[in-house]
Amino acid sequence: MDKILVLLKHLLFVFIWTGDVLFWKQKKQLKGMIFFMAKMKYWNGTTWEILDAKDADTIDGKHFTDIQNDAQSKVDAHNSQTSVHGATSAATANRIIMRDSAGRAKVAAPIASDDIARKDTVDTHAGVTSTISTLGHVYEAEFTATITAASWSGTTPPYSNAVTVSGITSSHNPIIDVIMSGTYSTDQQRCDQWGNIYRAVTSSNTITFYAHEKPTINLPIRVKVVM
């Protein structure tokens, strides 16, 4: 039916040219034809309806302009949605991630190495402290010990002194220094005696010091390990 109406519409325009009828010479005839078309009826699937001239330009009863406007309104509505296709800011499986009103979004706790890291993951890492056997951002530990004068062994250089430092291993290369007391005369002695030691070797829970001359006083030391 739609095709017939479109054909009639185009035939009417063929018969009209700049306000004159090409094949009908009388305006009365033209008016009659228009009246005839205005009174034409068509079956809408339920009942007969009088044909409206604009109905010749329809699809399923909708005019092209209406269809275009409907389509555009749907696109506009889709574009303005805040939860398109079920998107959510919550950590929900198989859903599109969207930001909440504050611009944030959530994800589940990471498991694989290439999962998204969450703030709590970063905070936990930042709060990790290191020990001699626990990796934080680095392995780090600090110890104190005393090199006692009575513990030097050997009758000729180099003399040796094994000092217990729990946690030290042979893979550590610690920074070692004598601890000053704050009393000038005492610290002067410690500086002089510390100068006799030229080497330190780490092993399991022990640092062995070597000296070209035996220190005659106890030397408190600080041992710092960073790996």
Pick from 164, 165, 148: which is nearest to 214 by CA?
A: 148
Q: For position 72, what pLDDT does the model report?
A: 84
Question: Beta-strand (E) ranges in 55-180?
Answer: 58-59, 62-63, 140-147, 159-164, 175-178
At residue 88, the pLDDT reads 84
Q: What is the pLDDT of residue 100?
A: 85
Q: What is the pLDDT along the chain (227 residues), one digit of tens a residue?
A: 454 554 455 445 444 444 444 444 454 554 455 545 555 565 666 777 665 555 555 555 566 667 777 788 888 877 776 667 778 888 888 888 888 888 888 888 888 989 888 888 888 877 777 777 777 777 788 999 999 999 999 999 999 999 999 999 999 999 999 999 999 999 999 999 999 999 999 999 999 999 999 999 999 999 999 87
Peptide bond preceding 157: is omega within 30 degrees of 0, i.e. cis?
no
Residue 168 CB-half CA count within 13 A: 26
Specify the length of the chain in residues: 227
Rounded Cα–Cα distance for residues 55 and 34 (Å): 15
Give me the pLDDT at residue 123, please.
84
Q: Which residue, among 50, 45, 47, 16, has the nearest Cα to 33 in the 3D structure? A: 16
Q: How far is CA 5 from each of CA 15, 35, 51, 107, rounded to the nearest angstrom? A: 16, 15, 9, 58
**CA-wise closest residue to 33 among 42, 24, 41:** 24
Q: How far apart are CA 106 and CA 87, in angstroms?
A: 12
Q: What is the pLDDT of residue 128?
A: 78
Domain boundaries, the chain: 2-65, 85-127, 140-226
Rg from Cα positions in the chain: 48
Q: In whole angstroms, how far apart are CA 103 and each of 79, 106, 163?
A: 18, 11, 58
Cα 28–34–37 angle (5° rounding)? 140
Unique residue bearing structure tokens 């302009």: 65
